[in-house]
Chains A and B, each alone.
Chain A
């Protein structure tokens, strides 16, 4: 039973380019969460999605950031026109759903903006 998969593991982008981060949840999980971790900080919630629906995007910056979880395929976190402050580790987690369910994390994508 494969765990949560994220790719790429490392991504380097120049300022102004677009970054696309992919997440495939664990088999049987229909809930996906994206978190961002800045250096020396904890994980900050960004967005919560179920298949084809954004449930809660209260942690996501209003501009340049978007997320989707299509019926088929992985969840995508998209950052347009990246800036240096977007450099961070981005983690995806999945759960089968419901209150109290543990979230299982992927290995993360480390984004570096030069």
Chain B
């Protein structure tokens, strides 16, 4: 039962253009959403988050959009840079059985082409 899904395993974008990474979830209990970035042989790095009471959060080149009715969120990176090439994980948070839990998607490998 995949509660958080990233349906695109990979994405290739030209440098300077916009990268859009998508994520869908099924559990209405999720109340906080996060994006992590991961380079090979390193741990995931927190990138940006959004509370379920908001529909947009922006931090520099990164913007996360949340559509609660569609249970969908997206991460926009603009302009895309070569250093953005990494695997991006979407994660959703909820209190379950007395503890905060993060549920991760499978990840999307983003490649920025010069």
Contact = CB atoms under 8 A, between A and B. Distances in A.
A111 interface: no
Interface residues of B, number: 28
Nearest to B101: A45
Nearest to B4: A42
Given A100-B51, A102-B49, A105-B44, A43 B89 contact: yes
B43 A99 contact: no
B102 A55 contact: no
A48 B44 contact: no
A43 B38 CA distance: 11
Interface of A: 4, 6, 33, 35, 41-45, 48, 55-56, 58, 91, 93, 95, 98-108, 110
- Sorted from nearest, which 9 A-B pairs have the closest CB atoms? A105-B43, A56-B99, A42-B106, A42-B104, A43-B104, A100-B32, A102-B46, A55-B99, A105-B44
